[in-house]
C-alpha cells in the first residue's frame, strides 16, 4: 500500500467512528495515559488527522505509538472499525512525514 492509498483508507475508515466510546473500556493503555489519545477513540481520531496532515506533534504521536495493537477494542466497536489497522497505517504515514521533514523528532512513549 502506498502512503497515498493508506491515507485514503485511513480517512475512510476513521470517518466511520461514531465517537460512542464503547471501545475505551477494553483498552489496557487508556488508564495509563494522561488523556484519551492513549485509547482507541482518540487513536481513531489521531489516525484521521495523520492522514490529513502527515504529522501530529509529539503528544499526538505518543498516542499512536503507545498502542499495543492488541485489538481488544475492536470487539467492542459497533462499527467494527479496524483500529489496530488504523494505528499501523498512521505509523507508516507519520514515518513518511518524518522522512520528508528530517528535523522533526518522532515521539515519546508511555
Ligand atoms: S489495539 Fe490499541 S487502542 Fe485497541 S485496545 Fe489494544 S492498545 Fe487499546
Ligand atoms: S467503539 Fe468504534 S465507533 Fe465507538 S468510539 Fe470506539 S472506534 Fe468509534
Residue nearest to atom 6 of ligand 2 (CA): 23
- Nearest bound ligand to CA 44? 2
Residue 83 domain boundaries: 3-99
pLDDT for 3: 87
Assess if residue 49 is contained within a domain. Answer: yes
77 lies in some domain: yes
pLDDT for 108 beyond 90: no
Ligand 2 centroid–CA 71 distance in Å is 13
- pLDDT one-digit tens code per residue, 13-57: 999 999 999 999 999 999 999 999 999 999 999 999 999 988 898
Per-position b or e across 6-41, b if 16+ CB within 10 A of its CB: bbebbeebbeebeeeeebbebbebbeebeebbbbbb
104 touches 98 (CB < 8 A) = yes
Q: Is the CB of 84 under 6 A from ligand 1?
A: yes
Number of domains in the chain: 1
Which atom of ligand 2 is nearest the CA belonging to 77?
Answer: 1
| Residue 11, in any domain of the structure | yes
pLDDT (0 to 100) of residue 43: 98
Amino acid at each position: 500500500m502506498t502512503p497515498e492509498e493508506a491515507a485514503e483508507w485511513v480517512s475512510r475508515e476513521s470517518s466511520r467512528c461514531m465517537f460512542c466510546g464503547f471501545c475505551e473500556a477494553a483498552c489496557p493503555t487508556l488508564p495509563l495515559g494522561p488523556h484519551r489519545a492513549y485509547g482507541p477513540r482518540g487513536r481513531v481520531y489521531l489516525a484521521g488527522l495523520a492522514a490529513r496532515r502527515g504529522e501530529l506533534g509529539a503528544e499526538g504521536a505518543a498516542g499512536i505509538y503507545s498502542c499495543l495493537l492488541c485489538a481488544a477494542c475492536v470487539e467492542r466497536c459497533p462499527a467494527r472499525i479496524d483500529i489496530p489497522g488504523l494505528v499501523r497505517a498512521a505509523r507508516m504515514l507519520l514515518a513518511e512525514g518524518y522522512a520528508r521533514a528530517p528535523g522533526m523528532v518522532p515521539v515519546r512513549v508511555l
